[in-house]
Amino acid sequence: MFMPRLERIWIKRAKLGPMDRKQSAELVAQRGLFDNADQGRRRQVTLLSAERWGELERELGVTIDPSERRANLLISDIDLENTRGRILCIGEARLQINGETRPCERMDEVHEGLQPAMRQRWGGGAFAEVLTGGSIAEGDEIHWE
């Protein structure tokens, strides 16, 4: 049996800016990831399922670095589909899933056909707000509350 875990962390410096990979980061309650361009509101952190991303790659017959999705957190062994309202725990931090991250036209710039493929079964991942902050690091175990 696999243990759900945090695989990767990315911080976005500016809107439409590059995604910087980090080994660890700080989640701030009601704000999001410290130093990330997107702060506050309901979409403070974006999450992507490693397994769902792999399915999209197989469907399209390509390998695409998951950072191209521009999500903040890549998680494994947790299905994000239809999880609105659930609480995801990463260490001491608690994130409330507020909805599906809908893919934008930039995804077709990454690879033709990626945007429509991502529209199925929450392929673009989910967005969340930080209820309880805390330090997170790649490799941290995650679970539903």
- How is the chain split into domains, by residue range? 5-144
* End-to-end CA, the chain: 19
CATH class label, 5-144: mainly beta
pLDDT digits (tens, 9 = 90+) for 51-83: 999 999 999 999 999 999 999 999 999 999 999
Is the pLDDT at 9 greater than 90? The verdict is yes
When the pLDDT of each residue in the chain is averaged and rounded to a whole number, the result is: 94
CB 111 within 8 A of CB 60: yes
DSSP H stretches of helix in 1-145: 50-60, 106-110, 114-118
